[in-house]
Structure 1
Amino acid sequence: MPKVLISDKMSPRAEQIFREQGLEVDVRTGLSPDDLKAIIGDYDGLAIRSATKVTADILAAAGKLKVIGRAGIGVDNVDIPAASKQGVIVMNTPFGNTVTTAEHTIALMMSTARMIPQATASLRAGKWEKNRFEGVELYQKTLGVIGTGNIGSLVVQRAQGLGMHVIAYDPYISKARADDLGVELVDLDNLFARADFITIHTPLTDSTRNLINAANLSKMKQGAIVINAARGGIVNEADLHEALKSGKLRAAALDVFETEPPKDNPLLDLDNFICTPHLGASTEEAQINVAIQVAEQISAFLLRSVVQNAVNIPAVAETELPVLQPYINLGEKLGMVLGQLASSGLRRIEIEYAGEVSRLNTKPITTSIVKGVLQCMLPETINLVNAPFLARERGIEIDQSSREQAQELRSRIRVTLVMDQGSLEVAGTLVHGHQPRLVSINNMDLEMGLSGKVLYIANQDQPGLIGHLGTFLAEQGINIASFHLGRECPGGRAVSFVAVDASIDKDLLQKLQKLPNVLEARMLTL
């Protein structure tokens, strides 16, 4: 059975679920990088929180590792490109701590508005400074939300319940989704200029790093309040310090920092700054939820190949899998045909979905096609995780399109390789609901099952080919299982796919190519 390592502290429910699923599991927390590197090669799965740093060096030692599960949202402690290149799926648990993080954001907003931590400290010091701690109301104020994903949308709902007007910046949502949330979509400059409170709910990326900097702070309203319970590094802390010290901002609250814990950080000396030690997900319910979720996701993948909440591969819900799996298999087979027939200099893979398949989640099918192509052309071990990464690394474009109708077929997948020297195209479908079939190659119609050992012949359509080929194979003791023909026109270019019971080596292929009217001969393994 697969073996899983839990390397960070999390609810005991995770270990319990792994064992209930029949997986072998070890719990070893507090490992040094060297200790983790020394043992990681024994495990198929790794369950972490934020303490374990999964670097490229550790991944290089993880020969068996198939999946990393993060009990939480942020995966910046995992080298995603290195994991993808090595074919390791990286999952997070985006729903287990959404409510608690949204509630913590509202708590920070109220605490800054009413200066609750400062007033508590003052009272404990024996003072009664009622006039000093005059706050502001949230009611009828404008809240600017940057990022309206799982957590951001929950913050929107709760702020609306407090009577706030919400404006939002999110380049990834539609106007219809914004209308459903009841928010006004604006650009960043508009949000900075209008918002009384600003809260951030985005991942830390190259585009969001230092998003709240001196230039953008200068665009904010005098006396605005900034809250960040997302990721450290989105707010430039030195620039925030200056804005608070100058009075440009009324207050700010951070739950996350660039360096955690923050040492010698001047923000901690300011009276109008409040903070918490990364508590967004720190509730009893959230800790149990993310532990359960990560254990269930890792188990589902290792035992049933179900991918959920992956950050480096298209996810497939378990309910989708029965419908999608036959198309995923078809896509990979079509890719394998092309990959074994292609010449070098691959520039682009064009994929067209037509008919019923066009209305499905085609992302995993596209990935399987790319995998099928590359595993026949590259020396690396190719899987559904690293195939898109390796394609991008080599400058191979992936173009995808859809059509409502598939002519006489219920569904059709057409794949074209564009190479330095010409192009190559195949199309396939499913018969009986799940059996993959090749139905054309370079616009020559035929029908062939996609399995086993297949001899591919390109030839001129002249009488005698079948006889010469049959005699040649018989002399070599090679039995023909089935024969499939296609041609452009009588006397033109033609192809033959011959299913055989044994592989044909290079020497025999060279002899075969010398038969009359044979232009090319390849041995395909499907």
Structure 2
Amino acid sequence: MVQVQQPLDTDKEMFTVLVSDQMDKEGLKPVLESSLVNVVFQPVHDTSVPLDQIDALLIRSATTVTKDLLNRMPRLKIIGRAGVGVDNVDMDAATSNGVVVINAPDGNTISTAEHTFAMLASLVRNIPQANQSMKKGKWDRKAYQGAELYGKTLGVIGFGRIGAELAARARGFRMNVIAFDPFLTKSRAEKHRVTPVDLEEVLSKSDFISVHTPLTKETKGLLNKETLQKTKQGVYILNCARGGIIDEKALYEAIESRHVKGAAIDVFEEEPAINHPLTTLDQVITTPHIAASTSEAQKNVAEQVAIEVLDYLNGKPAPHALNLPYLDGDVFEKFSPITKLTRTLGEMSSQLFRAPVQEIELSYAGEISHQETGLFNRSFLAGFFRHRIDGYVNEVNASWIAKERDVQVAEKHENESQGYSNFVKATVIGEKDTLEVYGTFSREIGPRIVQINEFSLDFQPAKHTLYVQHNDQPGVIGKVGQLLGTHNVNIATMQVGRKNEGGKAIMLLSTDKECDQSVLEAFARIDEIVSVSSIEL
């Protein structure tokens, strides 16, 4: 066991921090230099480590934190993951044990953006291929003629932190930058000096396309055989984000057919990607998932968690906490139905409003308006952002995520509850449209949706839900039922809302299974249907 003992200040409590994985020592300076901390460097499974004396645990990806391990660490207060993902931590067990889990979501932003741009420049100038040729003793200048980046158009799909940093570097090379992100507001696009466009325009106008979206059911296979065919002849494709966003077989075929001129890939759907077909193509540059692997990034993530762990041990809040501190039984019983409602409202609103969001306003009426509503706001945001980012989102970090994405959050307390004992109205405001979703709850039934925009109904949210906008005409409900029956989708419940006979109307249906894309596309064959959305809760 390797231990670093700092001078003891007998007037203050001492803490023991266990560093279980290899971590940058420079980044760990905040805890190493603290007079309040003993630092132990040792794998957590080492029998010489006094687990019952550990106050904080710092890990990367090698250490797996299980329920059993947590039970053997009764003094543990906080886990710091020096990186983004927390798949190696049992979050439920940590929460039930009252252990806060934090990560370092910003530490690899610059490294990933720089790696992507390095791949872009290398790709267009054939640098890796020319280097390999030289190593074989050749001098073939004509074979490796490249192109300039100046004046070319870079299309960025997904405009989060890394996408914004990549755009800044591209502008430095005087490229034109266009960006598609369903949640990119006009003001944020102007701030970063990029042109917001739809996906079709990115595909048709870009000389280079770089993906930086989270991997979700909507983005899996986003660049596939169909969408790649819509790109410019001779386009270059880059992926340093998540494996699976690009259909790798379709990309291979598009390169073989010479429609796609080249590709730079750092991440793969299945890793390690040894002997992957894309690595056999001369037009493709590949790296083994190293976009975030720089000494600076490793220092940054270690420093971020070290500072936050030290602050937390000294009684300060942890802004990058990923789990909600454990609530005792009475508190949980009191607030659980309300947070379930607000979280459900958040999930539904996010999936119904697939556009950039500028502001979210939550209004409370009835008994709920007399409670402290901060937790309810956060549970709404946790549900809302769950479907918009690739990462662990909950009541603790949701407010920080909203702030990072320039989403203003406001709340109101009103007297009019429309006859309900508890009433919540969520208003989502975008650049052009506004969505209103109203809900209530009871301990017997649970959350209920009672209005969407101007349409009143009474719907109990379900795991698989369809939202259908249609024209109120005879036979529409029958056509919807027949369509779902043809696709072997069973309807559990249905609610219809309308304002005027023969006017606009909506349906909310709960089904026994999720409706896939083929089902949603089939609705286009019903003339009375305006739009249909699949909602997964």
State the TM-score bracket (shorter-chain normalisation). 0.5 to 0.7
Matched residue of 2:179: which SS?
strand
Structure 1 range deviating more: 40-49 or 289-298: 40-49
Q: Which amino acid aligns with 1:7?
A: S
Matched residue of 2:220: which SS?
coil
**What whole-Å deviation, never above 9, does each CA across 1:298-335 have from its counterpart, x for those lacking one?**
22223324122334569xxxxxxxxxxxxxxxxx99x9
Distance 2:61 2:331 in 1: 43
Structure 1 position 9 matched with structure 2 position 18: no
> In the alignment, what sits opposite 1:25?
39
**What whole-Å deviation, never above 9, does each CA across 1:137-189 have from its counterpart, x for those lacking one?**
21111111122222211111111111111111112231111121121212223
Offset of residue 64 of structure 1? 5.4
Structure 1 position 68 matched with structure 2 position 91: no
Distance 2:204 2:278 in 1: 24
Distance 1:213 1:281 in 2: 26
Q: Does structure 1 retain, via aligned residues, the 8 Å contact 2:378–2:396?
A: yes
1:196 to 207, 218, 242: 207
**What whole-Å deviation, never above 9, does each CA across 1:215-272 have from its counterpart, x for those lacking one?**
3323322221111222333333333322223322111112223344322212222111
1:119 to 130, 144, 149: 130
Distance 2:64 2:275 in 1: 24
Matched residue of 1:304: which SS?
coil
Offset of residue 134 of structure 1? 1.4
Structure 1 range deviating more: 361-370 or 200-209: 361-370
Q: Does structure 1 retain, via aligned residues, the 8 Å contact 2:323–2:396?
A: no
Q: Which amino acid aligns with 1:275?
A: T
Q: How many aligned positions are there?
A: 365
The alignment's TM-score, normalised by the length of structure 2, stands at 0.57
> In the alignment, what sits opposite 2:168?
157
Flag the structure with larger Rg. Answer: 1
Distance 2:221 2:51 in 1: 34
> In the alignment, what sits opposite 1:246?
257
Distance 1:113 1:369 in 2: 45
> In the alignment, what sits opposite 1:403?
412
User: In the superposition, relative to structure 1, how do residues 199 and 418 fare at CA in structure 2: closer, same or farther (>3 Å)?
Assistant: same
Q: Which amino acid aligns with 1:227?
A: L
Distance 1:268 1:369 in 2: 44
Q: Does structure 1 retain, via aligned residues, the 8 Å contact 2:28–2:303?
A: no
Q: Does structure 1 retain, via aligned residues, the 8 Å contact 2:337–2:441?
A: no
Distance 2:29 2:373 in 1: 35
**What whole-Å deviation, never above 9, does each CA across 1:114-151 have from its counterpart, x for those lacking one?**
11000001011111111111112211111111222222
Distance 1:277 1:10 in 2: 20
Distance 1:157 1:278 in 2: 23
Q: Which amino acid aligns with 2:442?
A: M
Distance 2:159 2:330 in 1: 40
**What whole-Å deviation, never above 9, does each CA across 1:388-424 have from its counterpart, x for those lacking one?**
99xxxxxxxxxx9723999xxxxxxx9988424699x
Q: Does structure 2 retain, via aligned residues, the 8 Å contact 1:87–1:386?
A: no
Q: Does structure 1 retain, via aligned residues, the 8 Å contact 2:80–2:101?
A: yes
Unaligned 5+ segments in structure 2 are: 1-13, 346-361, 382-392, 399-408, 416-421, 425-439, 447-537
> In the alignment, what sits opposite 1:461?
none
The alignment's TM-score, normalised by the length of structure 1, stands at 0.58
Q: Does structure 2 retain, via aligned residues, the 8 Å contact 1:55–1:78?
A: yes
User: In the superposition, relative to structure 1, how do residues 117 and 174 fare at CA in structure 2: closer, same or farther (>3 Å)?
Assistant: same
User: In the superposition, relative to structure 1, how do residues 86 and 231 fare at CA in structure 2: closer, same or farther (>3 Å)?
Assistant: farther
User: In the superposition, relative to structure 1, how do residues 365 and 115 fare at CA in structure 2: closer, same or farther (>3 Å)?
Assistant: same
State, as a whole percentage, how many aligned pairs show the same letter: 43
Q: How does 1:51-90 map to 2 (within 5 A)?
A: 51-54=62-65, 65-78=76-89, 88-90=99-101
Report the aligned-residue RMSD.
4.4
Q: Does structure 2 retain, via aligned residues, the 8 Å contact 1:84–1:386?
A: no
Structure 1 position 179 matched with structure 2 position 185: no
Distance 2:215 2:67 in 1: 19
Offset of residue 338 of structure 1? 10
Structure 1 range deviating more: 232-241 or 172-181: 232-241
Distance 2:119 2:313 in 1: 40
Q: Does structure 2 retain, via aligned residues, the 8 Å contact 1:347–1:419?
A: no
Q: Which amino acid aligns with 1:239?
A: A
Q: Which amino acid aligns with 2:123?
A: T
Q: Does structure 2 retain, via aligned residues, the 8 Å contact 1:143–1:197?
A: yes
Distance 1:232 1:2 in 2: 40
